[in-house]
Amino acid sequence: MDANTSAKTILVVEDEPDTRIFLANLLAANGFCPICAATIAEGLKKAKDTIPGLVIINAMLPKEAGLRLFRSLRCSDGLCHIPIVMLSTLDKETYDRWTETRRSPSGRPIPAPEAYLQKPPEAEELLAVINRFCTSPD
């Protein structure tokens, strides 16, 4: 996969089928290449295999898996540079309080995601965020 294709590839890690389909269709309709995963294990494998240009994660995956995936990506040398957009039904203030105690296994703080959007995201707002971090489609 060349660098330009990689920049347009977006990994969506979402357990809710309707939201996953909405995001994949929105991305495809706007020139991006969506890759979808429903679990943390599938998401981490696809991130390692494709090195996407951006990852969208449902923060509320079962058993805090969204945060575990976020932490895994941020602590991985090969993946820590990938911009991450977190989606959640929680408002931003509640999400920030909920995650402020999260640290890496070494105890160091983990940098915040590049963007946070409340679910369901508005299509225009999500695309604006994505376009800030990904190479615009040709």
Round the average pLDDT of the chain to a whole number and report it: 84
User: Could you identify the residue written with the tokens 């060349």?
Assistant: 2
Per CATH, the number for 3-133 is 3.40.50.2300
- pLDDT at site 100: 55
Name which of 79, 62, 64, 66 is nearest 12 in CA terms. 66
Q: Give the rounded distance of the alpha carbon of 30 from its chain centre.
A: 17
What DSSP element (H or E) covers 35? strand 33-37
CA atoms within 13 A on the CB side of 15: 14
**Tens digit of each residue's pLDDT (9 = 90 or more) over 16-74:** 999 999 999 999 999 999 999 999 999 999 999 999 999 999 988 887 678 888 888 98
Given pLDDT bands bounded at 50, 70 and 90, which one contains residue 93? confident
**Tens digit of each residue's pLDDT (9 = 90 or more) over 94-136:** 666 655 545 556 666 777 889 999 988 999 999 999 999 986 4
**Tens digit of each residue's pLDDT (9 = 90 or more) over 66-82:** 888 888 898 888 999 99
Q: In this structure, what DSSP letter does residue 75 have?
A: T
